[in-house]
Structure 1
């Protein structure tokens, strides 16, 4: 087993409110009540036990800095028809035969695997969409996490863009949820009950083994799935056009303390320290009470947020969600 020890440095506190001499614990009822008292565009609630360690919560949202990326990022530019972009769009409704794939909520457990789930989830969605729903499969997050040389940091974080690079150059095998026999290499980190700090331990990723799990009838090399070169889509309308045309996209964003408390509504940062980055699938958009949002799929299980989903402010690059969205086209 690969046990990696590391120190996460939390940046200096930069909040939008001054609490005075003592700042409430970021999982406390005081902070929940404060956020809800602001009557902002979203509601805060309890997703994590207040005794959950800082170490654990930092493990959950820790995607490595953009500056470490070694590969160039080609930009795809669509010819945009503004009149063709609807006010509401949901990829599950646009491709109903792939809805169960697109809307599936994963559980990364106590492991920094959001970047991997965002990458393989988006790729899996697009395999279904571009095969006209004739191919429906889960790609293995654990294979990507452990076998990519450029983003092989186990449970301590990863590079979203390097995940796409690995898919386009080497390939990723199939693999479903923890405890299943789905595919070549199902996820090996057990689910985590965020409400129970005693049962939610720290996850460790295994070493890279380019062999399918025992009991699988698949062969690793022949199970590898690859895609055309990945690309970036930048700007709100480019992102919308890409999603409408080719399916969900993956994007990283800044995670602040208040994001852990998100329960419903359209998230925008209200208060709290910056932790680091997370990644998610963007599957659509809409408007609520005049507030535009992106519809996103997280991998913190169905007990978090809006049954595993969240909505985040659209059009103003909230938490840098619109800075560098990634996509690619599968090969068959």
Structure 2
């Protein structure tokens, strides 16, 4: 994803190279600003932001997905606050946070997650399983490169053409093809998992055309769920809101800077640090706090990171490109 000129105004400040690659200094700078969010460094001194670049990677081919037509909803019909978890409580996937492990799989997880949410909503809560990010990661082999990066356009087109099976988290034994890459430590707190930045990047799993969960009773060929179409929305916060109100969470791509890894709570916006790469995420709602408009967004760095795996980011100013390119699919119900 090409960094637009606008982001150079919104996102960059000049600091020396030592600060760019030191979590404690970055957290200190953020907290000294007393802004809308709080930073925290929980990493040991040998862990640096540049070590996390392997977690990031999204390829885009803008123009591949059809541009969504303007919503028939009036602007006045967009609520001041909205949370898909509360609007569709039976659809438990909306509140679910996966851990991508040491693999740039955000593109697959965000796509599978958003489609899981939208399929449940489209079927009025009758289908509540998590769909398989594992299958997208391993089998979506067009422009995607698995654990090295991937294309959200390919992922949505794969779902429309081939369908996607049910899945689950690492060792969850849920669904047809659960995620096979083990979690890693994204925040420096969990001693159970190895630090993401100190481990070699995982290889892309092999594409397997059968259910890998031996305890799953469904059949692979009968388990696929498809979309009837996929779409994109460009740089229009109101249209993004209308789409979420109408059909559920959407996928977004945002620019990731060093300070984002220190995010603890609050409404994020870029303050300091180096641009490291892009991440695909799910936007599930919005609100306003102390006069600052925000999006509610699901990441894939486990529930110990941020606000139980979620984060809030400034809304309406295209903070770090999050409103630039929205994608989604309309489920076959």
**Shared fold by TM > 0.5?**
yes
SS across alignment from 1:293:
strand
Q: Which residue, out of 182, 195, 211, partners 1:190?
A: 182
- Confirm or deny: 8 A CA contact 1:47 1:304 kept in the other structure: no
How big is each residue's C-alpha offset from its partner over 1:113-133, in whole Å with a ceiling of 9 and x where there is no partner?
Answer: 111111000100111111111
Structure 1, unmatched stretches of 5+, are 1-13
CA distance in structure 1 between the aligned counterparts of 2:253 and 2:195, rounded to whole angstroms: 28
- Alpha-carbon deviations, 1:218-268, whole Å to 9, x = none? 322221111111011331110111101111111111111111111111111
- Out of 15, 33, 40, the residue aligned to residue 19 of structure 1 is 15
Cα distance in 2 for partners of 1:135, 1:173 equals 12
The residue number in structure 2 matching 1:208 is: 207
Partner of 1:232: 232
Separation in 1, partners of 2:269, 2:27: 14
Residues 173 and 54 from structure 1, CA distance in 2 versus in 1: closer, same or farther, beyond 3 angstroms?
A: same
What SS class does the counterpart of residue 150 from structure 2 fall into? coil
Q: Is the 8 A contact 1:151 1:163 kept in 2?
A: no
Q: d(CA) in 1 for partners of 2:50 and 2:209?
A: 30
How far apart are the structure 2 equivalents of 1:76 and 1:327? 13
Residue of structure 1 in register with 2:27 after alignment: 32
Pair 1:163–1:289, CA change in 2 (3 A): same
- 8 Å contact kept, 1:253–1:279: yes
Aligned to 1:61: 56
1: CA distance between counterparts of 2:27 and 2:153?
34
Q: How many residues are matched?
A: 316
Contact 2:20–2:274 under 8 Å retained in 1: no
1:267 aligns with 2:263: no
1: CA distance, partners of 2:244 / 2:299 = 17
After TM superposition, the score normalised by the length of structure 2 is 0.89
CA distance in 1, matches of 2:295, 2:46: 31
**C-alpha separation between the residues in 2 aligned to 1:129 and 1:27?**
43
Q: Distance in 2 between matches of 1:40 and 1:55?
A: 24
Greater displacement, 32-41 / 53-62: 53-62
Distance in 1 between residues matched to 2:167 and 2:98, nearest whole Å: 12
CA contact (8 A) 1:268 1:312 kept: yes
Q: Could you tell me how far apart the structure 1 residues matched to 2:143 and 2:175 are? A: 22
Q: Does 1:330 align with 2:331?
A: yes
- TM-score in terms of structure 1 length: 0.89
Q: Secondary structure at the match of 2:331?
A: coil
Other structure's SS at 2:221 match: helix
Taking a change above 3 Å as real, the CA distance of residues 274 and 73 of structure 1, as seen in their structure-2 partners, is farther
Cα drift, residue 169 of structure 1 = 1.1
How far 1:76 sits from its partner (Å)? 2.7
Taking the aligned partners of 1:224 and 1:115, their CA distance within structure 2 comes to: 19
The CA deviation string for residues 87-111 of structure 1, in whole angstroms up to 9 with x for no partner, is: 110001111222x221011111111
Q: For 2:124, which of 124, 132, 139 is the aligned residue?
A: 132
Give the conservation status (yes or no) of the 8 Å contact 2:71–2:239.
yes
